[in-house]
């Protein structure tokens, strides 16, 4: 069984949590019209744009997409496309679907009230998240236009990684966490993918063999897909007024398992610091 995440620092929503959120709310928002938008706190990572409410009111959600860790709500008015909401959960953000009369909690900053009687409520204690609006193609928005490939896309594969790593002496784990190389591979999933691919995190990126790049690209897809599936079992939480977001964690092999026996070879898992972040690896399984 995947374990429920705690409320500590490491609950930062990563790509699987954002994708789980997207899937969890998709059916409740698509083809629903936004009756009103309530902004209780506009000072997020970037301020909620002036006039946000009037831009989204009476618009219908045409589709809900994800790019990196951004959720994109494409809006339409009648049959014509009419802007998009770009939402980022930041370090501590979450979205819940609630009956719209539910009294807000202290960190409930933004509501999109839907014509179904539910509202989509954005809660973010640390306020590193953002709720933006754009008239243009959201994928061309300055925050999204230059993002690296999605790890779950065909474009991201061993060949792509090998090209990105060519001639680079940076540690392979740092390369994976560089959002100009690939988006959405955070600390947990970089550590877990390197374990599955049997590669030590400190190896120079440019020195990996082509089979290792292939194994690593596949391992990244596998760990992310498993995490999305683990989150996907908790969709009921999104309609539970008491419920916190349904982020569950898959069974991890190395992350935060310092000194515990490797699940494969029983040697103690080692911890080191790379780029001010903890890295975990198995000295027996990873070369
Ligand atoms: Zn091991």
* pLDDT for 275: 87
Average pLDDT over every residue of 16-30: 91
**What is the distance in A from the centroid of ligand 1 to the CA of 252?**
13
Helices 210-231 and 15-29, packing angle to 10 deg = 40
**What is the distance in A from the centroid of ligand 1 to the CA of 198?**
9
Kindly report the average pLDDT of the chain as a whole number. Answer: 90
* DSSP structure class, residue 226: H
Does residue 43 contact residue 127 with C-beta atoms inside 8 Å?
Answer: yes
**What is the distance in A from the centroid of ligand 1 to the CA of 243?**
37
Does residue 225 contact residue 152 with C-beta atoms inside 8 Å?
Answer: yes
Contacts of 23 (CB under 8 A, 6+ apart): 228, 232, 235
Alpha carbon separation from 73 to 5, 8, 99, 265 (Å, rounded) = 27, 29, 20, 46
**What is the distance in A from the centroid of ligand 1 to the CA of 263?**
7
3-state secondary structure of 224: helix
**What is the distance in A from the centroid of ligand 1 to the CA of 192?**
12
Sort strands 70-77 and 248-249 into parallel, antiparallel or unpaired: unpaired
3-state secondary structure of 187: helix
Q: Strand ranges (DSSP E) for 78-124?
A: 80-88, 94-99, 108-114, 118-123
Q: Enumerate residues with CB within 5 Å of ligand 1 (an ion).
A: 262, 264-265, 282, 284-285
- Cβ burial, residue 222 (10 Å; 0-12/13-18/19+): middle
* DSSP structure class, residue 209: -
**What is the distance in A from the centroid of ligand 1 to the CA of 206?**
24
**What is the distance in A from the centroid of ligand 1 to the CA of 211?**
20
Alpha carbon separation from 206 to 164, 203, 247 (Å, rounded) = 9, 9, 35
Residues written for the chain: 287
Catalytic residues: 13-14, 69, 277
* pLDDT for 227: 86
Contacts of 51 (CB under 8 A, 6+ apart): none
Does residue 246 contact residue 229 with C-beta atoms inside 8 Å?
Answer: no
Give the global pTM: 0.87
- pLDDT tens digit string along 183-229? 999 899 999 999 999 999 999 999 999 999 999 999 999 999 988 88
- pLDDT tens digit string along 122-163? 999 999 999 999 999 999 999 999 999 999 999 999 999 999
- pLDDT tens digit string along 162-186? 999 999 999 999 999 999 999 999 8
């Amino acid at each position: 069984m995947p374990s429920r995440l705690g409320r500590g620092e490491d609950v930062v929503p990563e790509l699987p949590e954002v994708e789980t959120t997207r899937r969890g709310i998709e059916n409740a928002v698509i083809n629903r019209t936004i009756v009103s938008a309530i902004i209780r706190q506009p000072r997020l990572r970037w301020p909620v744009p002036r006039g946000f409410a009037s831009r989204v009111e009476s618009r219908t959600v045409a589709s809900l997409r994800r790019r990196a860790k951004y959720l994109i709500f494409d809006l339409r008015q009648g049959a014509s496309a009419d802007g998009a909401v770009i939402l980022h959960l930041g370090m501590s953000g979450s979205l819940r679907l609630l009956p719209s009369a539910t009294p807000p909690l202290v960190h409930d900053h933004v509501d999109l009230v839907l014509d179904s009687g539910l509202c989509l409520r954005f809660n973010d204690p640390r306020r590193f998240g953002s709720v933006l609006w754009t008239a243009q193609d959201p994928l061309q928005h300055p925050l999204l236009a230059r993002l690296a490939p999605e790890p779950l896309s065909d474009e991201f594969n061993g060949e792509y990684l090998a090209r990105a790593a060519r001639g680079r002496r940076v540690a392979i784990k740092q390369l994976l966490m560089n959002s100009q190389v690939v988006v959405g591979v955070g600390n947990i999933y970089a550590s877990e993918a390197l374990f599955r691919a049997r590669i030590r995190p400190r190896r120079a990126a440019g020195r990996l063999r082509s089979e290792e790049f292939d194994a690593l690209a596949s391992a990244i897809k596998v760990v992310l897909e498993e995490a999305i599936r683990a989150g996907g079992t908790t969709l009921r939480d999104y309609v539970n007024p008491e419920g916190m977001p349904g982020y569950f964690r898959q069974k991890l092999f190395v992350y935060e398992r310092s000194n515990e026996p490797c699940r494969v070879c029983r040697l103690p898992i080692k911890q080191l610091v790379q780029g001010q972040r903890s890295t975990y690896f198995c000295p027996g399984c990873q070369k």
